[in-house]
Amino acid sequence: MFNPFQVIQVNDNCNAALFFVDRHKSGALSSKTAFIEATKEARQISYADLASQTDRFAALYARHKISRSDKAVMLVHDCIDFPVIFWGSIKAGIIPVPLNTLLPGDIYASILKDSEARVLFVSAELLKEVEPALLNNTYLKVVIVIGGSHTSEYLDFDTEMRLSAAGGTIVLAQPEDCAFWLYSSGSTGAPKGVRHKHASLQATVTTYAQHILQIQESDVVYSVAKLFFAYGLGNGMSFPMSVGATTVLYSGRPTPESVIDVLKSYQPSIFCGVPTLYAALLAYLSAQSDSEIKQVFLSIRCSISAGEALPENVARRCCETLGLEILDGVGSTELLHIFLSNRIDDIRYGSSGRAVPGYEFRLLDDKGVEVEEGKIGELLVKGPTTALDYWRQAEKSGETFKDGWTRTGDKYTRGIDGLLTYCGRTDDMFKVSGIWVSPFEVEQALVSHELILEAAVVACDDKEGLTKPKAYVVLESGLASDELVGQLKDYVKLAIGKWKYPRWIEFMESLPKTATGKIQRFKLRG
């Protein structure tokens, strides 16, 4: 019987590293490539070498007298050193805390102090950005730099690995013990430390990876979402490692050019994108012939999207132009990966699909009452991957995690067919003439216009103090003009209703986003 809560134990030890790493160190998969870097050098590591390297890495902590449950912040690009550090830390009972590599220095300073991290692992290219955050930090004991040249005041990762003795000890862990932290993306404010347990990593596999992604040992996975992101952590580490598949790691920025280069060179069978990237690929490839375009994507058997709802128009164009039938899904840092999704045999463009096996959901109104079909309600989710809490934020933890249910802050409607349709964040919703307006619905209408690449809609007060929609748009082609503003307003009126059209439209070069591609609408509000 399917049981997403079951945790595979090794010698009565539920340490997640035993299932994901050491299970493959001998036997048929031992020589299989676990990770390969999409670089000129194309460094790679086998499953057996990963087990050996994580053992050696775990011993590094003992040499520096870092104790169990101490935190190790990882400001590390996607490279083969990332899984060595992450899983080696878990083996040693140290809590790895991967961070967004695109944050400003003051946020790093805040997180380093908030987490009370004793160790920092940082890619050499990011050292300059984080160095000011190291000043006056009384918690940090060790700073280890990965790759490149750096000053002698910090330790070198390769040197530290050579100094570590092989055969580190794997600490005993229970399913509910804290294994690692992730910091929330901060799309609506300061990042929060989200604490996850050992059992949750396996649970993402027995729910989404097995039932929706249907991942296999023969798969090659490429995720544009980085490993520090909950979505990327599953895509690029826990899912492929659960079956002995191979992951392609790319440390650079995922532009359309770089993504296409990776696809051509490594021919992944599973491609994990985000809505912004899919839209950018369509714009970039629009000048090429259909045959040239589809050749790039022929190896892909399954493509997925998360991070933000995938606009229906973008999904349809990807299918028609790129040959990709994208499984749009919804996940969160608090629930570790995707809990609502379309299925390979049941794709409904514009919908977030149904609950992933192992999860339940409810849609509640502002009074906590379940809403009827077609009515807007806040999504609450129950499942085996719920975070333990927010680090040192008891009040916020109590608001978000209650009686096994997690408040997502997302607004949805449920159709008569049971499919869920995204309406926007709770903070983004607003009323026009007493009727709820979904910013996402207006945005979808705008991006379905042939000249629009991206759009963001927020509430804005008119001269009388009445709330109306305001749109910020990025053009795919054409020139901004008053005439185009009028055309777009009329276009939205016809598409979704006269009261929902944006009263103001502002053209922009780009929209503010998190590193994971989520539009930061709060930055656009007046």
DSSP 247-269: EEE--S---HHHHHHHHHHH--S
Q: Give 86: exposed, middle or buried? Use CB within 10 Å, 0-12, 13-18, 19+.
A: buried
Measure the CA–CA gap between 74 and 329, rounded to whole angstroms.
27
Is 2 part of any domain?
no
Instruction: Check if the beta carbon of residue 425 is closer than 8 Å to that of residue 398.
Output: no
Residue 286: the pLDDT is 83
Q: What is the CATH number of the domain that holds 60?
A: 3.40.50.980
Q: Do 388 and 436 belong together in one domain?
A: no
Span 44-57, average pLDDT: 96
Q: What are φ and ψ of residue 297, in 5° steps? A: -105, 10
The answer on 208 and 171 residing in a single domain is no
* Residue 503 covered by a domain: yes
Each residue of 187-206: b (16+ CB within 10 Å) or e? bbeebbbbbbbbbbbbbbbb
Domain annotation covers residue 6: no
- The verdict on residue 10 lying in a domain is no
CATH number at residue 462: 3.30.300.30
* Overall domain count for the chain: 3
According to the model, what pLDDT value does residue 2 have?
47
**Of 408, 425, 442, which one is at a domain's C-terminal end?**
425
Check whether residue 43 and residue 179 sit in a common domain.
yes
Please state the three-class secondary structure of 477-491 as a single string: CCCCCHHHHHHHHHH
Residues 190 and 219 in one domain: no
User: Domain containing 208 — which CATH number?
Assistant: 3.40.50.12780
Indicate if 487 and 338 belong to the same structural domain: no
Of 98-102, 147-151, 366-370, 376-380, least confident by mean pLDDT is 147-151
Please check whether residue 99 lies inside any domain of the structure: yes
Sign of the torsion formed by the C-alpha atoms of 358, 82, 96 and 98: negative
Query: Is 4 inside a domain boundary?
Result: no
- Segment 478-504, tens digit of pLDDT: 889 999 999 999 999 998 888 889 999
Instruction: Write down the pTM of the prediction.
Output: 0.88
Range in 50-54, 137-141, 455-459, 512-516 the model is least confident about: 512-516
Whether 226 and 349 map to the same domain: the answer is yes
Q: Is 206 found in the same domain as 191? A: no
* Same domain, residue pair 350 and 412: yes
Q: How confident is the model at residue 186 (pLDDT cuts 50, 70, 90)?
A: low
Query: 364, 391, 425 — which closes off a domain?
Result: 425
Kindly tell me if the per-residue pLDDT of 6 is higher than 60: yes
CA distance 336 to 200: 8
Q: Is residue 265 part of a domain?
A: yes
For residues 443 and 488, membership in a common domain is answered with yes
In sequence order, the β-bridge partners of residue 390 are 194
Q: Which has the higher per-residue pLDDT, 146 or 424?
A: 146
Average pLDDT of 260-283? 94
Rg over alpha carbons for the chain, rounded to the nearest Å, is 23
Owning domain of residue 75? 16-195
d(CA 332, CA 248): 23
Same domain, 26 and 153: yes
Question: At 24, is the secondary structure helix, strand, or coil?
Answer: helix
DSSP count for the chain of H helices, then E strands:
16, 27
Sign for the pseudo-dihedral over CA of 407, 408, 409, 415: negative
Band the pLDDT of 229: cuts 50, 70, 90.
very high
Least confident piece of the model among 225-229, 271-275, 287-291: 287-291
> Is there a single domain that holds both residue 372 and residue 509?
no
Residues 128 and 107 in one domain: yes
**Domain ends where: 425, 446, 478?**
425
**Residue 300 predicted with pLDDT over 80:** yes
In a domain, 7, yes or no: no
The runs of H, that is alpha helices, within 236-346 are: 239-243, 256-266, 275-285, 290-296, 312-317
